[in-house]
Chains A and B, each alone.
Chain A
Amino acid sequence: MVWSDQEIIRLSAQFVTVADEVYMLYPEDPGNLNRVKDDPAHLFFKKFGESMPPGDWNHPGTKQGIYMMGPNGEYLEGKFAAASNPADIQARLRRAIQRWDALRQSKGYANSPIPAVKATYPPDVSGELIFRVNSRDLPRGAGDRSGRRITEAERTSNAFMDFTKWAWNETWVGVAKTQSFVPDSGGTGAVPISVARSIARIALLDNVRGQNPEWRDQDIKNIAIRMKVVRDSNGSQVIEYTGSAQITDGNKSFSATCYGEGVYDSKAGKFSRLDLVWLGMRGGAAQFNQRANDRGPAPMGVTMSLFNE
């Protein structure tokens, strides 16, 4: 909601913009906190937080939020748990920019142009194939609107609290080797079971409405992804993928079938595109995925699309 606001997008251009996970930067448990106590990133963020006005920094407790700081951690603006109100973030950005204008003059900061970077995946995702994974609810019957888009009226109102009506999610999964998705010389094959199980564990789960931890290996009861070259034109191959998965931990579950296609240049050894769609029934609820009142079974879709930078 906040980051799709056009004015916020415009104001953010004054900053080096960064998104990162906070629990390991400023852990809430004593064990991990002790581990980072001398880490310069932790100390930098801690010092900034302790300079914030009371009520805007949350200690002890979650440090999730939106923060604006000078290059040496000087306080400009910010608030914990502050990603839901565009008007509030606009106001904080404007105050931060005013404070920055005074600060940069007093300290002689260069305020040099900020190089553009493309949005990318989290740094712990790696492999020759990087898949963007999206999940969304699917219609449950005639007239049901599960999986619909947010409307412009909802986007600009406080209706964001009803996000379950239009929720979707995006995560990432890396596959070490391109060849895992290429059939053998006979034109058919199966994605290695270890790769398929890894994909199931990380990607085939219900995070449509919120956080849901990865499956344990023993939860993956069955998974198979078969592949077949269906067209080959002078080394440019179209590969078809079909498969299925049954996953359950006794509470949560997802059973799905898969179809996908990839375009593979066998001379270059690279995919130009590779998309898989998993459709099936999910059930149960995790602690933070907002399914306590919607335990299913209900249909859900998960897509995997190759990310080409």
Chain B
Amino acid sequence: MIFTLLTMLTTQVASGPNHTPTAQNFRDYLAFIQPDASEQRYKEIPWRNQFWPAVQEAKRLGRPILFWTMNGHPLGCT
């Protein structure tokens, strides 16, 4: 709780609406914008990034396949 309050007091991310990156604040903005560890838990799963090579690997290993698929690559949707 105290750490959160201190973080809120010391961050240089503006309350808005105007935001301008500088040498003094840009790492605070990096931390604000980039996902933290809890938001990136999906990366704890060892995702291969191509379906057909993963199928070939599964055949070699004699293992099942878990396939997550979207329109746009799930590991880098635009």
The smallest beta-carbon distance between B71 and chain A, in angstroms, is 5
**Mask of B11-35 contacts with A, CB within 8 angstroms, 1/0:** 0011111111111001101101111
**CB of A83 closer than 8 Å to a CB of B:** yes
Provide the residues of chain B in CB contact with A305, threshold 8 Å. Answer: 30, 34
- Whose C-beta in chain A lies nearest to the C-beta of B59? A71
**Mask of A167-179 contacts with B, CB within 8 angstroms, 1/0:** 0111110000000
**Mask of B53-78 contacts with A, CB within 8 angstroms, 1/0:** 01101111111111111111111111
Q: In the complex, are the beta carbons of B26 and A259 less than 8 A apart?
A: yes
Q: In the complex, are the beta carbons of A139 and B13 less than 8 A apart?
A: yes
Q: In the complex, are the beta carbons of A134 and B34 less than 8 A apart?
A: yes
**Mask of A110-142 contacts with B, CB within 8 angstroms, 1/0:** 111110111111111100000000111011111
Interchain CA distance A12-B63 in the complex, whole Å: 12
Provide the residues of chain A in CB contact with B70, threshold 8 Å. Answer: 21-22, 64, 83
- A-B pair number, CB within 8 angstroms: 266
Q: In the complex, are the beta carbons of A68 and B68 less than 8 A apart?
A: no
The SS class assigned to the A binding surface is mixed
Provide the residues of chain A in CB contact with B32, threshold 8 Å. Answer: 136, 138, 147, 301
Q: In the complex, are the beta carbons of A277 and B62 less than 8 A apart?
A: no
Q: In the complex, are the beta carbons of B67 and A96 less than 8 A apart?
A: no
The smallest beta-carbon distance between A210 and chain B, in angstroms, is 8
Q: In the complex, are the beta carbons of A44 and B55 less than 8 A apart?
A: yes
The smallest beta-carbon distance between A94 and chain B, in angstroms, is 13
Interchain CA distance A189-B49 in the complex, whole Å: 36
The size bracket of the interface on A is: 35 or more
Contact A15/B15 with A3-B42, A20-B49 known, Cβ cut-off 8 Å: no
The smallest beta-carbon distance between A177 and chain B, in angstroms, is 21
Q: In the complex, are the beta carbons of B62 and A279 less than 8 A apart?
A: no
**CB of A182 closer than 8 Å to a CB of B:** no
Provide the residues of chain A in CB contact with B21, threshold 8 Å. Answer: 257-260, 277-279
**CB of A84 closer than 8 Å to a CB of B:** no
The size bracket of the interface on B is: 35 or more
Provide the residues of chain A in CB contact with B26, threshold 8 Å. Answer: 259-261, 275, 277
Q: In the complex, are the beta carbons of A68 and B58 less than 8 A apart?
A: no
- Whose C-beta in chain A lies nearest to the C-beta of B57? A16
- Whose C-beta in chain A lies nearest to the C-beta of B31? A303
Interchain CA distance A149-B39 in the complex, whole Å: 8
Q: In the complex, are the beta carbons of B42 and A4 less than 8 A apart?
A: yes
Which segment, of A52-60, A190-198, A211-219, A246-254, faces chain B? A211-219
Q: In the complex, are the beta carbons of A17 and B22 less than 8 A apart?
A: no
**CB of A237 closer than 8 Å to a CB of B:** no
Q: Which 4 A-B pairs have the closest CB atoms?
A: A3-B42, A110-B62, A109-B62, A18-B54
Residues of A within 8 A of B (CB): 3-4, 6, 9, 12, 14-23, 25, 40-41, 44-45, 62-72, 76, 78, 83, 93, 96, 100, 104, 109-114, 116-125, 134-136, 138-144, 146-147, 149-150, 168-172, 202, 205, 207, 211-214, 240, 257-261, 275, 277-281, 298-299, 301-303, 305
| A-B CB contact pairs (8 Å), 15 listed | A4-B41, A9-B44, A17-B54, A18-B65, A68-B67, A71-B55, A71-B59, A71-B62, A76-B64, A78-B67, A123-B49, A147-B33, A168-B35, A213-B78, A259-B22
